[in-house]
Structure 1
Amino acid sequence: MLTIICPVYNEEKYIGNVLEFFVNAKPDEKELLIIDGGSTDRTVEIVSEWIENHKNIRLLHNRNKYVPFALNLAIRNSQGDPIIRLDAHTIYEEDYFLKILETFEKTNADVVGGPMRKIGKTVFQKAISYATTSVFGIGDSKIHKTDYNGESDHVYLGAWRRKLFDEIGLFDERLIRNQDDEFHYRAKSFGKKIYLSSDIKSYYYPRNSFSALFKQYFQYGFYKPLVLQKIRSEIKIRHLIPGIFSLYIITLPLLLFLSKFFLIPLLIYFFLDLIFTLKSSKGFGESLAIILIYPTIHLAYGIGFVLGLLKIFKKTSFENSNK
């Protein structure tokens, strides 16, 4: 039997798609655990209606609200193997579960999953989909390569063998964001095999406003230092560049007092921003969004990363002073 888990919070617009997909997808022998983080809309009501007709759907209540608590609660209260995570804002191919099982069988991996395929209904979402999969946007990460097949340090959402949690532990509940990154990095550090298959297909709808996008990437950046502190072998240059760039932007007014040459890196950045935007060959509206999305995600992630580092530094200094 498969265990399917899905953390939710105020997902009345999307939860029906998840429930319908689960009921119709093969194989039949499976259970779905919806973990609600205190929704104030009709999410719980909708799930409860489906439970009346489908006894393999269960609703759990996550008093701690955040995703890592929801994942751990579901894992502890589930029975199946493997355990597969779903996201309410994602659309899945009808053979999604079957391809996961097939990949486990073919690769003998501990973790499997597909790439992060981003799609959009609005011009802004389409712009994010392009910008956050380009090399200039997020670096050379395998999870964004839709035709890649092979071992990876990460997969989108993920499917896990149950024994893995006994061997390396559950999700780190300190991480409101990046808990999946840390778990997969930890698995890799234990010598576990993570396999990314392009046959496992799903489609994710990104944020639909600059404020929501900034908040998302700020949180990614803020919690990344804690992840890298735990799993230092996974530190990569792409994790550090946004923080360096943000520090440069913050200190630029002071630097310009010293020399006008400090303006050159900013000019190079805007040139690259323009080049990668034009390379997209999108219409005017989408291109205008793309050229603004690049600095938004870079500065949001970078500022978050710097503040995350400062938090770790302060905590370490406090602990050392009390020894």
Structure 2
Amino acid sequence: MITVVCPVYNEEEFIENVLKFFVEAKPDDKELIIVDGGSTDRTLEIIANWIKNYNNIKLLHNKNKYVPYALNLAIRNSKGDPIIRLDAHTLYEKNYLEKILETFEKTNADIVGGPMRKIGHTDFQLAVAYATTSMFGIGDSKIHRIDYSGESDHVYLGAWRRKLFDEIGYFDEKLVRNQDDEFHYRAKSFGKKIYLSSEIVSYYYPRKTFLGLFKQYFQYGLYKPLVLKKIKSEIKLRHLIPALFTTYLILLPILIILNEFFILPLLLYFLINLIFTLRNRGSFKQKILIFMVYTVIHLAYGLGSILGLSKIFKLSF
């Protein structure tokens, strides 16, 4: 038997997609553990209706609300191996679970998963999908390369051998965000094998608004320094550049007074932004949005990183 886990919170718009996928997907010998973080919409009602007809669907309640608590609660109450995580905002190919099992068998990996394929209904979501899969948007992370198969430091969502949690521990409950990054980095630091397969196919819907996108990337930046403090071997240049750029922007009014040539890095940034934006083949509206999205994710992640670094600095002393 395999275990499928899914943390949820106010997912009435998406939860039936997850339930339908689970019921129809192979193999048949499986359990789904949904962990609710205190939903106030129709999420619980919808799940309850499915549970009446399927005794391999279980609902747990996460009083601590956040994802790492939900994952640990689900894992400790599960029976299957491997343990496969789903996300409510993601669509899955029918063979998603089968491909995960095939990848485990072929690679003998401890963790497997696919790349993060992003799609959207609106121009804004399509712009986010494009910007957050480009080198300029997020660096050279393998998880965003949809044609890559091979060893990696991270996979989207993830599937884990049960024994892994006895060997390296559970998800860090101090991390509201990036708990999956930290767990995978920790596994790699223990010598565990992480394999990313392009045959494991799912589709993720990005945030729908600039505010939602800003909050998301701010939190990514805020918790990344704590992750990298724990797993120093995973520090990469792409993690540091947004904080350096944002610091430069904050200091720019003073720098320009000292020397007007300090404006050049900002002009170079906008030029590179424009070049990567124009590579997109979407509409003119999408191009405008992409240009803005690049700036939002870089500043949000940078501001979050600066605050996260300041917290770590205080903790160090």
Letter in 1 for 2:185: Y
Which residue identity lines up with residue 190 of structure 2 in the other structure? F
Unpaired runs of at least 5, structure 2: none
| Structure 1 counterpart of 2:160 | 160
Which whole-Å CA distance do the structure 2 matches of 1:288 and 1:89 have between them? 25
Q: Could you tell me which residue of structure 2 aligns to residue 216 of structure 1?
A: 216
- The answer to whether structure 1 residue 94 and structure 2 residue 85 are counterparts is no
Match of 2:123 in 1: 123
Aligned to 1:35: 35
Report the Cα offset of residue 134 of structure 1: 0.4
The amino acid of 1:151's aligned partner reads: E
Shift of 1:283: 1.1
1-side partners of 2:152 and 2:315: how far apart? Answer: 32
Please give the residue correspondences for 1:219-258 in structure 2 after superposition, counting only pairs within 5 Å: 219-258=219-258
Map of 1:1-323 to 2, 5 A cutoff?
1-317=1-317
Q: Residue 271 of structure 1: CA displacement?
A: 0.3
Q: How big is the shift at 1:177?
A: 0.3
CA distance in 2, matches of 1:148, 1:116: 11
Structure 1's unaligned 5+ residue stretches are 318-323
Paired AA for residue 261 in structure 2: F
Deviations 1:45-93 (A, max 9, x none): 1101100000000000000000000000000000000000000000000
Give the aligned residue type for 2:49.
E
Q: Distance in 2 between matches of 1:136 and 1:261?
A: 24
Which residue of the partner structure matches residue 320 of structure 1?
none
SS in structure 2 at match of 1:53: coil
Q: What is the CA–CA distance in structure 1 between the aligned matches of 2:36 and 2:217, rounded to whole Å?
A: 23
Matched residue type, 2:239: H
Distance 2:167 2:257 in 1: 55
Aligned residue for 1:321? Answer: none
RMSD (Å) for aligned C-alpha atoms: 0.4
Distance 2:111 2:156 in 1: 11
Count of matched residue positions in the alignment of Structure 1 and Structure 2: 317
1:250 is aligned with what amino acid? I
Superimposed CA distance per residue, residues 14-46 of structure 1 (whole angstroms, 9 cap, x where no aligned partner): 000000000000000000000000000010111
Superposition deviation, residue 279 in structure 1? 1.1
Q: What is the alpha-carbon distance in structure 2 between the residues aligned to residue 55 and residue 280 of structure 1?
A: 47
Letter in 2 for 1:142: K
Paired amino acid for 1:160: W
- Whole-Å separation in 2 of the counterparts to 1:145 and 1:37: 31
Amino acid at match of 1:49: N
**Distance in 1 of aligned mates of 2:267 and 2:316:** 37
Q: Take 1:157 and 1:45, find their aligned partners in 2: how far apart are those partners? A: 25
Cα shift readout 1:285-312 (whole Å, capped 9, x = no counterpart)? 1001000000100000001001000011
TM-score by length of 2: 1.00
Query: How far has the Cα of 1:130 moved from its partner?
Result: 0.3
**Matched residues, percent identical?**
72
Amino acid at match of 1:254: I
Distance apart, 1:280 and its partner CA: 1.1
Q: Could you say what secondary structure the match of 2:12 adopts?
A: coil
Offset at residue 281 of structure 1 (A)? 2.4
Instruction: Tell me the secondary structure at the aligned position of residue 120 of structure 1.
Output: coil
